[in-house]
Amino acid sequence: MGKNLSIATISLLLVLASTNAEQALTKAWKAACAVARSKVVISAGAYKLGLVTLLGPCKGAIEFNLQGTLQAPSDVASFNGKDGWVIFKNIDGLTVSGGGVFDGKGQLAWEKNNCNKEKSCNALPVNIRFDYVTNSIVQDITSRNSKFFHINLFECKKLQFQSVTITAPADSPNTDGIHVGHSSQITITNANIGTGDDCISISDGNQDVSANQVTCGPGHGISIGSLGKNENEQPVSGIRVSGATISNTKNGVRIKTWPSAHSGVASDIHFEDIVMKNVANPIIIDQNYCPNSQCSNKSPSKVKISNVSFKKIRGTSSTKEAVKLICSKSVPCQQVVLSDIDLAYNGGGGSTTSSCANVKPAVSGKQNPPACTNKL
C-alpha cells in the first residue's frame, strides 16, 4: 500500500503545482492506473481544471478521491465542441468519492443554450461522463452548476450512486441531474437532486435501473424518456423508482414519448411509495411529448408502453389535473396499474382530477382523484 499512497501524494502535488492542471492530473492518473488498488487524491482547496479524460483499463481497482473543488472554465469555447468536462472511460472497479465538488461554472453557457428551441444545437459539456464504466461506485460527491447534464452514463454496467448531491437553479436549461443511457444494473440511492430539468432521466437501451430514496426538486421530476425521437432505439425495461420525495417540480414521475416518430418499447416500469409536495402533473404518461413544437402531431407515437405501475403515491399537486395517462392511439398502453393514489390539489376550487386516453388502468386501493374521470 505504501507504493499506492506514494502515487496519490504525487498526484496531489502535480495538480497543485501545475499551471496546466488537466495535463498534470492525466499524468498522475496514468501512473496510478498502472498499479493495482491505487488512489488519486485531490485535497481540500479550489482548482481550475480544463477538459480531462481519465482512461482505463487500469491494472486493478482505482479510486478518484476528490476532497476539494474542481472548477470548469466558464467559457464554452474552451471545450472546442466537446460534450464532456471530466470523463471517466473504459474503467472497471472505479470508486469516485471524497466529499468534493465538481463545479461546472455553467452560468454563461445557460445564456447561450438554445437546445430547448432548436432541433440541432451546439454540444455543451456534461460535468461528469461515465463511458463504459463497470463494477463501480460513485459516492459522497457534489455536482454543481453544470453547463448541460450533470452526470451522464453511457454503456455502463453495475454502477452505483450513493449520497450524491446535484444542484443548479430551477431556470438552468437542460441541466438533467443523472442521465442514464444504454446501461444496465444501475442503482441510485439517497441522492439529493435539484436542477432546471429532469432530476433523473432514463433514455432508451436501459435495463435494471433503480432509484431509491431520492430527493428531487426543483426540476422536471423523474422521467423515462423521451423515447421514440430517433431511429433504432433500444428497449427500456426493469425500471424501479421507490421512496422518493419530489418537491416543487414541473412534473412528478413521468414516461414521455414523441408522436409521429420512431418505434420503441418501454416495459416493466414501476413507481412506488413516493411523496409529492406541490408538484405539477404528479403522475403522467405523455405520448404526445413535443417540446417547443419540434415535431409533427399528425400521427400517434409508435412506442409501446406496458407493465407500468404507480403505487402508494401521495401528497399535493400544484395542478388540478394530478393524474394524466395519455397513451398512443396506434399502440395503446397495456397492463397499467394505479394503486393507493392520494393527491390533493394545492390550489383553490375543488379536488384533483385525472385524464386517460387509450388506456384502461387496473385500479385498487384509494383513488384520489378517481381514476380516469376525464376520458379523452
The residues annotated with a catalytic role in the active site are: 197, 220
Of 256, 191, 184, residue with least CA distance to 217 = 191
| Per-residue three-class SS string for 83-111 | CEEEEEEEEECEEEECCCEEECCCHHHHH
- Identify residue 329 by its one-letter amino acid code: K
Neighbours of 326 (CB within 10 A): 18
Backbone angles phi, psi at 44, to 5 degrees: -55, 145
Peptide linkage before 282 cis (omega within 30 of 0): no
CB hemisphere CA count around 292 (13 angstroms): 7
2-17 and 21-33 helices cross at what angle (nearest 10)? 170
Q: Could you tell me which residues come within 8 angstroms of residue 67 by beta carbon, excluding any fewer than 6 positions away?
A: 41, 42, 43, 44, 98, 99, 100
The DSSP string of 275-313 is EEEEESSSEEEETT--GGG-S--SS---EEEEEEEEEEE
Q: How many helices (H) and strands (E) does the chain have?
A: 3, 31
d(CA 80, CA 71): 17
Ramachandran category for residue 191: left, alpha or beta (phi over 0 → left; psi -120 to 50 → alpha): beta
Three state DSSP letters for 43-89: CCCEEECCCEEEECCCCCCEEEEECCEEECCCCHHHHCCCCEEEEEE
Report CA torsion sign: 149, 150, 156, 157. negative
Alpha-carbon span 55 to 243, nearest angstrom: 35
Query: Angle at CA 92, nearest 5°, toward 89 and 95?
Result: 85
